[in-house]
Amino acid sequence: MKKSMDYFGNTGKILEINLTTEKTSILNPKEELYHQYIGGSGLAAAILFERLTKELDPLSPNNPIGFFNGPLVGTKAPNCGRHVVCAKSPATNIWGESNSGGKFGAFMKFLGYDGMIFSGKSSQPTYVTIFDGTIEFLDASELWGKGSFEVGDVLKEKHGKISSYATIGIAGENQSTIAALMNDGDRAAGRTGMGAVMGSKNLKAIALRSSTRDVGIAHLVEFKALISKMRKNIRENSVGRTMFGTAAYVSGGMKWGDVPVKYWHQGFMENTEAIDGSRMKETILIKRYHCYSCIIGCGRIVKIDEGKYAIPQTAGPEFETLAGFGTNLLVDNLEGIAYANYLCNVYGLDTISASQIIALVFRLNEMSKIPKADLEGISAIWGNIDAAIKLLKLMAIGKGIGKLMVKGADAVAAHYGVPDEAHTVNGLELPYHDPRAFFSMAAVYATSSRGACHNNGDGYKMGLGVSVSEINLECKDRFDDVEAGSLAVKVQDFRAVYNALIMCHFALPPFKDTTKAVELATGWPITIDEIMKAGSRITNLKRLLNKKLGLTRENDRLPKVISFKLKEGGTKGNTPNLAIQLKEYYRVRDWDQATGFPTSECIKSLNLEKYRTKT
């Protein structure tokens, strides 16, 4: 691969595509920008900063949508096959980003790009092919209305071998704010409505083909030796996740009170073994799935041959989906949950937001807040997976109560006069880790750059005993608010580095090895302190960007349900004090206590002055 400016790891090239004019160009970011923001969502925020404004309609042609990888993506570095999709979010009206596994990011790198930015709007449904340097804009009329798997079948029939593809389903076409963007059928960039942004541009799919798999490495011999060591370390420490996938956490997390039950109002659910990783392995599991360069293989491939929940061989539900359509709805039917997961992938719906909104409808029905006519005979009661599936289908096509539901939990709760029943932060439905179980998740959710997000910082893992010794990242007391505030800062900066590389959060080799891998791949001399400073710079940049988009200190909040003390389960009697956490969080970050934004000294220390003048 021809490298720009002798870059290694990265290529130095961002492909820009204007869908209105069908013109393409190459953006060559300054090398300094890579040193400061690494890649992934960090580089994306730096590049898109000027283009995003408070007045910008997220569903307008002027909202650019970017696909970015990182300096280790496409190399042999373990678990570095991911990519991130970024734009102004139609779900939150602030910074939107959605991280996805699979192989799309790696093949984008093989084609010579660190990122691709789509702007404008096609005059008709369109798909774009990028085959070994040749870019074509093709009529997608026959693809419009098709699900993610069917799109893949048609693309392969028309074009032969395809390395990877990204597409939207019906939800994205309908510009649902909870629309996901699907990669290779069942890998999802699920959160913040990136599928709706793609749909608003009449862009149905992007297909990639690369005949080479070359990424330049600055110090190849040393890099190979280090990567071998990292892969061995990860393999030895991932036996449980390899065997049972993320689904293992359903029963394990329940013991800690970290798996929300009955729309966050109950502390425990019996019989979670019926829907966890062990049961999946014993019943519907066919094989494991590995993302590009992954050695863990936490992905589940399942199949249900017959019955009303029959599905072809496809991706099985991950922990978040099992919690969302399982414990959150008091459902213990694994096949029904797997079917709901399959439908979400076909339609292109975020499983977290979709299941939260369905649980909200169950809750409002229990409270007698929804007229029977609105439910059209659907028995929206706890434990009824068939009702959830019916609601899911209405959401996909945007009919009946589904037309309201796809606008998000805030819209549903407001419509029925009970806004406090929406469990969201900045418009984004909570993921399935309870801040009452691990207090640091309260500050993480409240300050996350994209709304409630466990990928912005997974303090719950530290509460479970995970630590990163090189940066003193650990949790001593999961119920301590002061410690939680400072822990949230460090875990967010740590994960900002991961989301820039981009490296899977499940891979935790020694951090010194990860940092060294970046140095050997790129040729940049970099220390742990420097890479963590880059993580802090990325976090603060996104905060400044959100200020520009209208975020205020009042946005740093949690839904009311988190203040309720549960009477049973692993969180019994405990709830976080966000005010105490934020005071400590702002202090450690050097953010102004009154405004909640970086101080002048903080901005200067992180070399962010040029962005401050634009907020």
pLDDT single digits (tens) 243-266 = 999 999 999 999 999 999 999 999
Domain 429-506+527-612 -> CATH class: mainly alpha
Is 246-416 the same fold as 4-209? no
pLDDT value for 115 = 98
pLDDT value for 2 = 37
> Rounded to whole angstroms, how far apart are CA atoms 23 and 15?
11
pLDDT value for 615 = 64
> Rounded to whole angstroms, how far apart are CA atoms 27 and 66?
13
pLDDT value for 133 = 86
pLDDT value for 614 = 67
| pLDDT > 70 in the chain, percent | 99
What are the Cα distances from residue 532, in Å, to 44, 201, 470?
Answer: 18, 36, 11
State pLDDT tens for residues 400-452.
999 999 999 999 999 999 999 999 999 999 999 999 999 999 999 999 999 99
Give me Rg for the CA atoms of the chain. 22
* Domain range list for the chain: 4-209, 246-416, 429-506+527-612
In 140-278, the DSSP E strands lie at: 164-167, 181-183, 187-189, 203-209
| Residue range 216-239: mean pLDDT, rounded | 96
Side-chain-facing half-sphere of 248: CA atoms under 13 Å:
11
Mean of per-residue pLDDT scores for the chain: 96
Residue 274 has pLDDT above 60, yes or no: yes
> Rounded to whole angstroms, how far apart are CA atoms 351 and 179?
10
Q: Which two tokens stand for residue 341?
A: 């997961």
State pLDDT tens for residues 369-395.
999 999 999 999 999 999 999 999 999
Beta bridge partners of 288: 300
So what's the architecture of 246-416 in CATH? Orthogonal Bundle (1.10)
474 by DSSP, 3-state: which? coil
Q: Which two tokens stand for residue 488?
A: 């949230």
Fold classification of 4-209 is Aldehyde Ferredoxin Oxidoreductase;  A, domain 1 (3.60.9)
pLDDT value for 6 = 61
In sequence order, the 6+-apart residues with CB closer than 8 A to the CB of 239 are none
